[in-house]
Amino acid sequence: MLPTNLRITLIIAIIFYFILILIFLKKKALELRYTLLWILAGVVMGFFVVFPQLLLYMIRLLGIESPMNGLYVLCIGFIIIILMALTSIVSKQMVKIRTLVQENAMLEKRLREAEKKVDKYESISDGITDTENL
């Protein structure tokens, strides 16, 4: 079991963790949909701190003998889940950026073609007005 001092320290750390998440959310440093993953991580940490028997039960269920080894395995597993979620987010953002760049390039091309047509018509109309002045 967790000593009382360690449990209190971890509860205070989790409270600061949630405060930090809320500050980032308020300052728009994180979007809500991405913050939910971090909030879930905090809730899981909170459950394990408040109910350490749940942690021991999960470790025994996984067949791990030492609680510290089980804690490391669970932490590494959670980190892998967070990394996969963040990788998915980055991949989606890359697709959106690529699409935006391609659309921007097509719009620039259309603008250049339109400017050429306008210049062509202006030069024709200038030629017409020059011949009328003679």
Give me the pLDDT at residue 32, please.
81
Give me the pLDDT at residue 71, please.
80
pLDDT higher than 70, residue 129 = no
Task: With CA atoms as reference, report the closest residue to 21 among 45, 3, 2, 1.
Answer: 45
The per-residue pLDDT for range 26-73, each reduced to its tens digit, is: 998 888 877 888 888 889 888 888 888 888 888 888 888 887 788 888
Six token digits for residue 98:
């690529």
> Any alpha helices (H) in 27-66, and if so which ranges?
32-50, 52-62
The per-residue pLDDT for range 91-115, each reduced to its tens digit, is: 999 999 999 999 999 999 999 999 9
Give me the pLDDT at residue 130, please.
59
CA distance 54 to 60: 10
If you average pLDDT over every residue of the chain, what do you get?
Answer: 87
